[in-house]
Structure 1
Amino acid sequence: MNTLKQIFPAALIIVVLFLCACSNDSRSTSEDLDANSNLLNPGITGKLFVHENDYGSYLLDLASGIFTEIPNTDWENQNDRFPSGVANFWAIPAKYDHQEFIIKVRNCKRVNDDVLSPSLTCIAIQNYKGEYVSQFELLYAVRGSVHLSRNREYLALFRNIGQSVSSDKWLEIYDREGNLISDQKLDETSIDWLPNGRLVYIQNRSFIFTEPYSTTPDYQLTLPEMISGSPGQISVSPDGTRVAFSMIHTSNFATTRATPYVMNSDGTNIKQLADVPGEEFPIINSPTWSPDSKWILLKEGGAQGQDLNTPGVLGHLYAIPSDLDKVVMLSSIDDEKSPEAIRLKRYYKDTEPNEEKPNPTDRFPNWGLYWLPN
């Protein structure tokens, strides 16, 4: 009996401690669930770089769906740096890198005070504090995006050599101070950098790979005839081992009907990434890699507007695993969508992080897509 009296208090203490531990574990799990429930896109991390024409640039936190404005991106008000009142602004970040981005400013200046003198394009580099790191000017119009190499030491771009839009176009590589490194005459096309300094661009149905930090072609990969369409946008994975690309079926000012594919950088293992149920030619564009190579972002649907009175239609963004061996179905109808595809959501740009949030949306404008690390 005395032994039982000694054992019982000790056993009671153990039971109480066990229950307290369970209670603490339960509370911790509940807090984790509450924190997770505040995320619009659980499991998706990083930032989406967003540029809205002349209205500055933002970072969209993909997990929470909240925008933050990048400082000092009110370029239309920076008349001392960009004095022309008819300038147009575009911002393009270094890929898979949260350190610097490029601003391309068409018609930023003129060669001299004569209003009929040729215009210049300003190329500037800023960091995410808004500080200017470098800037130089190029004669005539720079077309499309300006691409920073993976080491951020070189810029690749297409430029008109002449005032007319029909002037010859050249693919050019510059260093950060504006010194020309390499060039070749070439019509504008989709290009991207590999980590080893090569450029890859599209010519007919072939992927042309250049010599390192040069515009000189080195070798090419030609797509098999069984894959229909014409190659469009290309995106090289962060490690350089794979290339995502779209095959265009039809295109006009409003929409581009295209199907996304991925292949190894040596041209092997070509496979279709996604499709839309019931569509012979889907509208799936802008294949974009996540910084860790695990996901590919795809824009499905949507249409450009013709003018302010016809603003267009917003599409959807999907993140799909990059290593699946199946074609993923994209749909705004959950029963038609493959479970592996995550349809992303966001809040509106003027939503403050700490305020009571309105209902989110799963619609996205026609931004250029750049997925950056946190």
Structure 2
Amino acid sequence: MNFYKSDLLQKIADGRFTRWRTGNRNWIGKFPYDILDAAAIAGSPAMPGIIEGGHFTIYEPGFSYRDIEGGLQQWHANTQRLAAQWRSQHGADIVAELPGTWCFLAQPWSDVFWHWMCEALVKISAFESSGYKGGFIVPGGVAFVRRSLDLLQIQPERIYYCDAPYAKIERLIIPHRFRAQLDLKSQIDTVDWLRERLLSDQKMDHDLKIYAARRGRRSIVNEDDLLSLLSKHGFQSVYMEDLDLGEQIALVSRAAAFTGPHGSGFAHTMFMPRRSHVVELFAPSGVNPCMLTTVEHLEQDYSMIVGTTSLASGTTHDAPILANIELVSLTLKRAEELDRFHRQCAQS
């Protein structure tokens, strides 16, 4: 891998880039992708494209979500900060050159835990299970990204962490737009592939029940009351981010139940045992159940409980949640009855 200096990112930061909307379709298994020869990526998180006469053209099909305008605004703001940072430290951007074939997985939001676990790892699963031997371009500076690739035993030489502002790639594979909430059903075998490689013990511990606590956004306003109730039902409070990713997966792989305020942590439920229980708490301004496909696939008992949010605390997607304690109590009692029924059936 070679490096040299350029002022391309500064040009992008100044708004000098265009968009390319047409694609070419190829397939790995059931996963469509495009190929760009003599390609480039810019920013971190990055966008793919090509360079022509010192001008960057974004390859728009490489963006994962419908809100491409919002995504481009976020990406452009990131490139402005990154260009200023590198220029102050090095006088210019540092450009990496990557020979061979690389799969692009470092687009905006790929550095968010849920999007990485439920979308990027699914793409890696589809490519790896089909015999792909090339490299992966992934977000740089993100601990759970690095650890997940280590757990999957992807060789270091096949990974490029996108923390330099710009890279030129001999051949770039760009998976098509993939939104787990809508598209995972058609790729559900990739979840089984991940579970086979990441889970060492899938035997349920009926006494292990997890409350995934949150710091900051979407906190539970009446958490003391909620924890008092949960403790009566055998739940333990865990800040999942305080554990190594391998420890997180090992913990949830034995859990009989998992609850907490809605957030990226619910990606863990795809590693829970079959017929386990999932209780997700929402604010009325942010009801967005993201794991229904894997819940159905794993025959999990899922409950969605919408609390209330005071006007003083706001009505945004990330607003604090006032949990409905009575409804949580009824839900946990029903889950315990269902659990007893399943165990009786298994013994008969």
TM-score, length of structure 2 as denominator length: 0.24
Identify the structure with the greater helix proportion.
Answer: 2
Where relative contact order (Cα < 8 A, 6+ residues apart) is larger, the structure is 2
Identify the structure with the greater strand proportion.
Answer: 1
TM-score, length of structure 1 as denominator length: 0.23
Query: Which structure would you say has the larger Rg?
Result: 1
